[in-house]
Structure 1
Amino acid sequence: MLSDQGRRLLELLVSVLPQIRVANPKTYISYGTAHTQLGLELMAETYGRSLQRQGLDELARWTKINGFPAITGLIVNMERKSDFYMQPGSGYFDLYERAIDDFRWWEHEIVKSLSFNWAPYLIGLTLVESPRAVDLDIPERVEATVYRILRDSKLSQQIKAIHNNECQICGHTIIMPNGTRYSEAHHIQPLGMPHNGPDVIDNMVCVCPNHHVELDYGVIRLSIDMLRGACGHYISEKYIDYHNNFYGL
């Protein structure tokens, strides 16, 4: 059974699930925010290590022993100078004997956390107020992959055809077993709240899956010069400026 500290931390993490967008760790919760929300005393030199001593390690072991989703991966380091910027600390991956760059496994655990029924383990507790989401972004990556397939709009098909399914950043394309080419369409200024980017071709680029993820995460800066052009596809600078400004690039 979880101690009160472990259950309160679980409660906090469950309360932030509605704001989570798996492909955007900015919608997750930082070690410092979790520490503050729980009203904990600083018991180590960093919030992360202090949190480990006050419920985090216990909760992580409890989820593993019971075969539950690794929900503690919602807590990430948001200090830019950290080696683990925008991801959990190494202990999260070590517990499951995973490489610290196994982001696909990490994403899968968060997706499972979103659909798991945590209610039986929160009985009798008063929910901690969830911190407001500041940087709500695109739909989470696993859902987005399905969404792109189901919503392969005429514009998406058009932009892929214009570029022959070749990434506008690196030129790569994926050759499927049946010989067809695969690429993805990315909205530079994301659709939906809070960005409200338009579904127009000058707000889209044709990219490979790797660069699509990097754009979703805000890993790379965009510029017109770095994008391979093609007749029939004009990209507006204002959407590129939005991407760079939003991610501070």
Structure 2
Amino acid sequence: MPTRIFGDIPGIPEGSEFESRVMLSHYGVHRPLQAGISGSQLEGADSIVLSGGYEDDEDLGDEIIYTGHGGRSLDTGQQVTDQQLARQNLALALNCQRGLPVRVIRGYNHRSPFSPTEGYRYDGLYRIDSYWRERGRSGFYVWRFRLVKLVTVGAPNQVDEERQTYGETRRVDVTIQRIVRNTEIALHVKELYEYQCQVCRTLVFTSAGPYAEAAHIQPLGRPHNGPDTLTNLLCLCPNHHVMFDFGGFGIANDMGLIGLDGQLHQKANHRIDRQFLAYHREHFLMNP
């Protein structure tokens, strides 16, 4: 089994061009000859090819909204069933959670001004910033992944599929555009709950005092465009913040927890907008 490389392929710089999928596979840039995602649901995804296969893809150059795998008719290419968070889609989700980069290759048949007019081109490393599900243009659920371009320096990480061992640690220079958040509102929701998690009521102490995290129910920024308001905020401990962001649990309109036992603790002077709860259930919860 060939070694899976999460990072640049030695000797293949960004901008390298290939005449076919066979050549991509030969040089180890993207091993599968047909699949758009190269990866394992146990390890993560090492590369993807943008080839115009899914109508919901959005390519903005340094940012890509990528549609996951599955659910299409082999005869027509149309989406005919919901996609599942399994196999290659789960591989991309693991990249998000584990911070693994993915190689992006654009093909000539990908409908984008950033794609080559012929053949295939390796366009560098991207990080998976977030993932969620939504109804695609066809009306079926698809999984969507937001990819953001990385600027990298150094040797790649490697993982052997059989030995599960990792190679050298890589130093990465990253330029990230972040949304400016209202820190006063975030501080307010923490103080409102005296830094106790609204799910488990845990109070986390550190050397600098109590610690909690302000979690947006409907995420900020494109494509979610949630507001930075108190009605869209929760006070959570780090564990439940991660679980909530990645669909480990949801919240019903009556504040009952979905996927966990119990109710969300809610202060009388903290109004939570039900439309944001519904958005989270629709896009992040596996079984809303």
The equivalent of 1:79 in structure 2 is: 84
Matches within 5 A, 1:213-224: 213-223=242-252, 224=255
Secondary structure of 1:19's counterpart equals: strand
Matches within 5 A, 1:1-249: 3-6=22-25, 7=30, 10=47, 12=49, 18-19=63-64, 27=66, 29-30=68-69, 78-79=83-84, 86-88=89-91, 103=94, 107-109=98-100, 112-113=101-102, 126=108, 128-129=110-111, 151=181, 153-176=183-206, 178-223=207-252, 224-225=255-256, 226-246=263-283, 247=285, 249=288
4+ aligned runs moved over 6 Å, structure 1? 14-17, 137-140
Change (3 A) 1:31 1:170: same
* Structure 2 gaps, min length 5: 1-11, 13-20, 37-46, 78-82, 113-135, 149-173, 257-262
Secondary structure of 2:99's counterpart equals: helix
Change (3 A) 1:194 1:128: closer
Separation in 2, partners of 1:105, 1:87: 10
- Give 1:207 shift: 0.9
Secondary structure of 1:168's counterpart equals: coil
- Give 1:154 shift: 0.7
Mapped contact 2:89–2:143 kept (Cα < 8 A): no
CA deviation vs aligned residue, 1:4-31 (integer Å, no higher than 9, x gap): 25257656169978325xxxxxx56326
Count of residue correspondences: 175
Change (3 A) 1:233 1:174: same
Secondary structure of 1:206's counterpart equals: strand
Separation in 2, partners of 1:14, 1:174: 47
Mapped contact 2:196–2:235 kept (Cα < 8 A): yes
Mapped contact 1:167–1:207 kept (Cα < 8 A): yes
With normalisation by structure 1, the TM-score equals: 0.51
- Give 1:204 shift: 1.0
Mapped contact 1:166–1:183 kept (Cα < 8 A): yes
- Give 1:228 shift: 0.8
Q: Choose between structure 1 and 2 for higher RCO, CA contacts under 8 A separated by at least 6 residues.
A: 1
Aligned alpha-carbon RMSD (Å): 4.6
With normalisation by structure 2, the TM-score equals: 0.45
Specify the code of the residue in structure 2 equivalent to 1:194.
Answer: P
Change (3 A) 1:167 1:14: farther
Identical residues among aligned pairs (%): 25
Specify the code of the residue in structure 1 equivalent to 2:231.
Answer: D
Change (3 A) 1:174 1:239: same
